[in-house]
Copies of this chain bind each other. A is one copy, B any other.
Amino acid sequence: MKVLLTGFDPFGGESINPAYQAVKQLPDTIAQAQVIKLELPTSFAGSAQKLEQAMQQHQPDLVICVGQAGGRACITVEKVAINLAEARIPDNDGKQPVDEPICTDGPTAYFSNLPIKAMVQQMQQAGIPAAVSYTAGTYVCNSIFYHLMYTIEKEYPTVRGGFIHVPYESGQVIGKAANTPFMSEAMMVQGLQEAITAALCCKQESKTAMGETH
């Protein structure tokens, strides 16, 4: 088994992005699966292109993209990617789409086909706050998640894919408003490892996962 993990580079004036910081600290083998780590640009166009290339090159069985959701307190596993790009700030290429579909020939949305509840439960059992989320926003995180599921549907129907959001890392909130939630990098790394293990091992599929409502 082969797992492709991606994390974004910094954006929005932050000097780090804990998503890739955490991804790159994960071991090279999780639950006997080989782990490939990839940094993606925070760019609507660039991230999609680089993800597709990596999927073609590595032919992974499982793809999980990781991004940052500043303001959330716990690790969230996303249920749904929507066919909408709407940016309040420009991406790292200076592009700021407003009310644009991501793929003009794609459906309105995809559900992740990962066992997202099992992933959340396994993180919680390891003592790591986690939850299912029903919106990945409308920025590059949602866009790469949508692209991933679109690519899976069109070209790699046996691949499983999904998206995980991590909170601000502790260092990022120093200087922000005092009540801004955060998570230590060590806990993010541990949480991702638990989630990936659950995604690899869990056979209990969601009744509403990707393929079943089409």
Contacts and interface: CB of A to CB of B under 8 A. Distances in A.
Interface stretch (A1-9, A40-48, A77-85): A77-85
Contact of A137 (B134, B138, B173, B214): B134
A128 interface: yes
Interface residues of A, number: 48
Given A117-B99, A129-B182, A74 B106 contact: no
Contact of A127 (B74, B79, B99, B174): B174
Nearest to A137: B134
Q: Which of A73, A84, A128 has the most CB of B within 10 A?
A: A73
A109 interface: yes
Given A72-B179, A99-B117, A101-B212, A82 B207 contact: no
A104 interface: yes
Contacts of A171: 127
Interface in A12-57: none
B80 A178 contact: no
Q: Which of A117, A181, A186, A206 has the most CB of B within 10 A?
A: A181
A110 B108 contact: yes
A150 to B, nearest CB: 11
Nearest to A173: B129
Interface string A81-98: 011100000000000000
A213 interface: yes
Contacts of A179: 72-74, 181
The 9 residue pairs across chains A and B that have the minimum distance between CB atoms: A109-B109, A131-B178, A135-B135, A181-B181, A108-B109, A134-B135, A73-B181, A124-B174, A83-B213
Given A79-B84, A83-B213, A184-B184, 18 more contacts: A73-B73, A73-B173, A73-B180, A73-B182, A80-B108, A82-B134, A84-B111, A107-B107, A107-B109, A107-B213, A108-B210, A127-B170, A127-B171, A129-B170, A129-B182, A131-B178, A135-B135, A170-B187
